[in-house]
Structure formats: structure tokens, C-alpha cells
């Protein structure tokens, strides 16, 4: 911990800041690298679990793989709620930390946990009860029963998935990505052990994969609860005594969180559209190929996603402290780093496409899919480099409280550029299944370029204007209770828009 860091960042002396908070308030390049490195390791392991999960499910046959694929869009909606709310929480808390408003950050963290309980109470029962009709609606057909079997278990754990996402967001907001890594690693390792035991040992089949996910995420929930409420060694203090009901805090959080959640909704909608086009062009086996190959693609872009996630906290702290030049540095550096990683990932995937595809085709039922999975992976090599411009640019928008801008970028990317390109190439130009794949690549290129140019314009304009729209003054009760004296008037951020 460092007291000098408070003075250097313009904060009044008070409780010493943690190393994570000092990192957020320092050089953005260093912060992005040091925050994203543990997250890359943890997220790669988590995605390794997803690959392992797909391998174990593949042993049940193509129907089981397709069933999970049909549930994936709905699961993306759930994860979108958690990740979107997490983005809003990270942005809201990081901006308050950057502005030296620790009581406001504490209050925002409590608001976030209460939002989790409200959202889970609203959506859990409908998702569980309507699992099979939704699977039928998504085109699952004969695999609808298997899809519902998997979905009911997953959505019964809604509150756990949401809480873990928000818990991670709180830790990221205060620059503590290492502790996030520990929790994610523990969850992934447990899940890898449970999958074969539950799927085959206990004879639960596809539902066993779902139970493995819910049990492991439940363990992480216990770890986070221990850190926040028993050990209490985080920079933020999450106590009922810190809670001051404030509609502006909720609005600030949802102004980023809801658009970010809708971004996952856009991805879910795109997945539904892609599945529909694949079924029309090549049948349900095409969905199984896409499900397996897309897991590999998502695994490959994990380092880029981790970089983008770290940018939300870095941009939030820079914006909160009104050091707008750091936004330009963060945007350029993170985009360049991510683009370079994308090129490396493309080369690796191209070289190892055949061996990777064979992993998903070890069972006699799925063996015929291997050549097509390899072809899909070869196409996705052109997808990876242009992921970074879009993700990093959206993170800049989210970190500065402009969640709607990030949503617009994703609407254009997913529902305009990718969906239209895939349709044109698959049906108008008659390329069929491969046309859908190349449409995803072309749309991603256009979407990434569009997002980067918009974010660049936004950052330059913010620097030029110098943040002429001042944030609102913090509530007087927070000013009175602040540790060490009066807090800067940039603490509330209710007027950022």
C-alpha cells in the first residue's frame, strides 16, 4: 500500500490505497499489461474448460453437441446480463476511485450486489420453466429435449453466475486482477474434474456438463463471499453501513450495464441467425461444426478480450481523474497489442487446424465432422486480427460511461455487417455453409474498423473539449463522511452524459 500514491494522483490523504488502485492511477500502458496478464491466464484456463467440456459432450454424439449449441444463445443472454452488469459496475466504481471518492465506490458496490438479487429473482423461474419451448423456437427440433435438459440446470444457477460476474467486476475496478485470476482458475479446475465424473460416471449425460458448471461456480461464489464479508482485505468495503440508496448510482451503473448486456443479446441474436442459416444450408450437423469450431475461436481471442476488459477499468480511472490524454494512450496501445496478438493467433490456428479439429471428432458419431471443423478454423484465421479494434473501442466507451456508443458499434457489427454479409454470401452468392463463415469474417472486419474510427474521434474530441460537461457534485452525506476531508466534486458522475 502507498500513501504517496494518493497525493500524486490528486487525492487527499486517507486510508492508504492498494497496489491495484495505484496501478489504475498510473501509466495506462503498464496498467493494461499488468491487469490483463493475470486475466489472460485465468480466462485461457476457463476457455480450456469450455474446450474440455465440448470434448466430453462430443463423446455423447452430434445430437448432444447440437443441443448445447442451441442452448448457447440463451446462455449468452444470461452471461450477457452478468458481464454487462459487471462492465457497468467496473466503470462506475473505477471512475469513483479515479476521482478519489471511496465512499461512493463502496456504495456503488453494495448497489451492484442488490441488483444481482433483483435480476435473478425476476428471470430464473421463466428460464427454467420455458427451457424446452425456447429450444424448439431456436430450431433445436429433435434435439429439443436434450437442449432443455441442459438448460434447466444451467438456468437454475442464475444467481450464482450473475453474482460471480459482479464480484469479478468489483475486484477489477480496484485493480485486483490477480485475485480474480485465483477464483477463475479454481472454478475451471473443479469443472474439468467434475465433467467426466458427472457426464459418464454418474450417467447424467448432457445434464452432467451443466451440473459441473453450476457446482464449480457455486464454489467460486463462496470464495468471493469470504473475501468480501469475512476476510475484508479489499480496497472497497462492502457493508450495509456503506449503503446509501441513490437512484443516480443505479442509473450510472445501468447506463453502461444495460447496453453492455444488450451487446451480448446482439451476439445471442446473431448466433440464432447463424444457426438458422446453417440449418438451411447444411442441416443440424453444420450447427455442431459451428458450435465446436466457435469454441476454439473464442478460446483463441481470450487474450484480446482480457486486454479489452482491463481497458474498462483503466479508462474509467483516467476519466474519473479527468486525465483524458490517458484515454488516447490506452486506446492506441491496447488496439495495437490486440491486433498483433490476433496475427499470432491466426498463424497458430492455421497451422494446427487439423489436429484441433480431430479433438472434437474422436467419437465414431462425430468423426465425419472433423474435415469441416478444420475448414471452419482455417476461415476464422482471418477473423482474429480485427477483433481487437472493436473490443478495445467498446471498452473505451464503457469505461467513460458511454455504454450506448459501445452498443451501437456492436449492433452494426453483428446485425448489420456480419448477418447481412453471411446472408449474401450463403444465399445470394450461393456459397452455402462456407458463405456463412466468410460472412462472419467480413462483417467482423467492417465492424472492427467502424468501432475503432468512432472511438478515435470520441477520444480526440474529449481531449479537445477537456471534459466541458462537469459531473455532478457528490451527495452531501458522502462529503461529510469522507475519510480525510472533503472529496473532489467529480465523485458522483450523475451528470456525465
Question: Tens of pLDDT along 78-103?
Answer: 777 788 888 889 888 988 888 888 88
| Any domain includes 6 | no
| Any domain includes 482 | no
Neighbouring residues of 133: CB distance < 8 A, sequence distance ≥ 6? none
For the record, the C-alpha cell of 26 comes out as: 498510473
| Any domain includes 484 | no
| Any domain includes 487 | no
Neighbouring residues of 201: CB distance < 8 A, sequence distance ≥ 6? none
Look up the pTM and report it. Answer: 0.75
Distances (CA, A) of 77 to 218, 256, 266, 373: 19, 16, 9, 25
Q: How many domains does the chain have?
A: 1
**Is residue 466 helix, strand or coil?**
coil
| Any domain includes 480 | no
Distance CA 400, CA 183 (A): 27
Structural domain containing residue 30 = 12-467
Q: How confident is the model at residue 203 (pLDDT cuts 50, 70, 90)?
A: confident
Which of residues 80 and 393 earns the better pLDDT score? 393
Question: By the 8 A CB rule, do 330 and 315 touch?
Answer: yes
Question: By the 8 A CB rule, do 471 and 493 touch?
Answer: yes
| pLDDT of 448 | 94
| Any domain includes 490 | no
| Any domain includes 496 | no
Question: By the 8 A CB rule, do 83 and 161 touch?
Answer: no
Residue-wise pLDDT for 433-456, tens only, equals: 899 999 999 999 999 999 999 999
Amino acid at each position: 500500500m502507498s500513501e504517496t500514491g494518493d497525493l500524486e494522483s490528486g487525492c487527499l490523504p486517507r486510508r492508504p490505497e492498494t497496489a491495484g488502485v495505484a496501478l489504475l492511477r498510473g501509466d495506462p500502458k503498464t496498467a493494461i499489461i499488468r491487469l490483463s496478464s493475470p486475466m489472460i491466464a485465468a480466462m485461457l484456463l476457463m476457455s480450456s474448460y469450455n474446450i474440455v467440456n465440448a470434448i466430453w459432450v462430443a463423446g455423447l454424439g452430434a445430437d448432444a453437441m447440437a443441443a448445447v449449441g442451441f442452448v448457447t444463445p440463451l446462455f449468452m443472454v444470461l452471461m450477457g446480463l452478468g458481464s454487462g452488469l459487471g462492465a457497468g459496475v467496473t466503470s462506475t466504481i473505477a471512475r469513483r476511485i479515479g476521482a478519489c471518492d471511496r465512499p461512493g465506490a463502496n456504495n456503488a458496490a453494495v448497489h451492484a450486489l442488490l441488483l444481482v438479487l433483483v435480476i435473478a429473482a425476476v428471470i430464473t423461474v421463466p428460464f427454467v420453466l420455458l427451457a424446452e419451448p425456447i429450444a424448439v423456437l431456436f430450431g433445436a427440433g429433435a434435439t429439443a429435449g436434450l437442449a432443455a435438459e441442459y438448460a434447466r440446470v444451467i438456468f437454475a444457477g442464475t444467481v450464482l453466475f450473475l453474482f460471480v460476474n459482479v464480484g469479478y467486476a468489483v475486484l477489477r475496478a480496484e485493480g485486483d486482477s490477480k485475485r480474480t485470476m485465483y477464483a477463475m482458475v479454481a472454478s475451471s479446475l473443479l469443472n474439468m474434474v467434475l465433467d467426466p465424473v458427472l457426464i459418464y460416471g454418474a450417467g447424467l449425460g448432457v445434464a452432467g456438463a451443466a451440473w459441473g458448471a453450476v457446482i464449480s461456480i457455486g464454489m467460486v461464489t463462496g470464495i468471493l463471499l469470504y473475501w468480501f464479508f469475512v476476510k475484508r482485505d479489499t480496497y472497497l468495503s462492502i457493508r450495509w453501513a456503506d449503503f446509501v440508496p441513490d437512484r443516480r448510482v443505479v442509473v450510472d451503473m445501468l447506463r453502461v450495464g444495460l447496453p453492455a448486456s444488450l451487446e451480448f443479446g446482439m451476439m445471442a441474436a446473431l448466433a440464432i441467425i447463424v444457426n438458422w442459416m446453417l440449418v438451411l444450408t447444411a442441416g443440424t450437423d453444420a450447427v455442431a461444426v459451428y458450435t465446436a469450431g466457435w469454441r476454439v475461436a473464442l478460446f483463441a481471442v481470450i487474450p484480446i478480450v482480457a486486454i479489452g476488459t482491463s481497458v474498462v477499468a483503466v479508462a474509467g480511472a483516467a476519466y474519473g481523474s479527468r486525465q483524458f490524454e490517458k484515454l488516447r494512450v490506452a486506446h492506441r496501445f491496447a488496439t495495437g497489442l490486440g491486433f498483433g496478438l490476433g496475427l499470432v493467433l491466426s498463424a497458430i490456428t492455421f497451422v494446427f487446424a487439423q489436429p484441433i479439429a480431430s479433438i472434437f471428432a474422436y467419437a465414431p458419431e462425430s468423426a465425419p465432422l472433423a474435415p469441416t471443423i478444420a475448414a471452419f478454423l482455417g476461415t476464422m484465421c482471418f477473423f482474429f486480427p480485427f477483433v481487437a479494434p472493436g473490443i478495445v473501442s467498446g471498452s473505451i466507451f464503457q469505461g467513460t460511461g458511454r455504454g450506448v456508443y459501445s452498443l451501437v458499434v456492436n449492433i452494426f457489427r453483428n446485425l448489420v455487417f456480419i448477418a447481412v454479409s453471411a446472408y449474401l454470401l450463403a444465399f445470394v452468392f450461393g456459397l452455402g455453409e462456407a458463405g456463412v463463415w466468410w460472412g462472419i469474417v467480413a462483417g467482423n472486419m467492417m465492424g472492427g474498423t467502424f468501432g475503432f474510427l468512432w472511438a478515435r474521434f470520441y477520444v480526440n474530441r474529449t481531449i479537445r473539449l477537456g471534459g466541458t460537461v462537469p459531473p455532478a457534485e457528490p451527495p452531501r452525506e458522502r462529503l461529510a463522511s469522507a475519510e480525510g476531508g472533503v472529496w473532489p466534486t467529480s465523485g458522483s458522475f450523475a451528470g456525465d452524459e
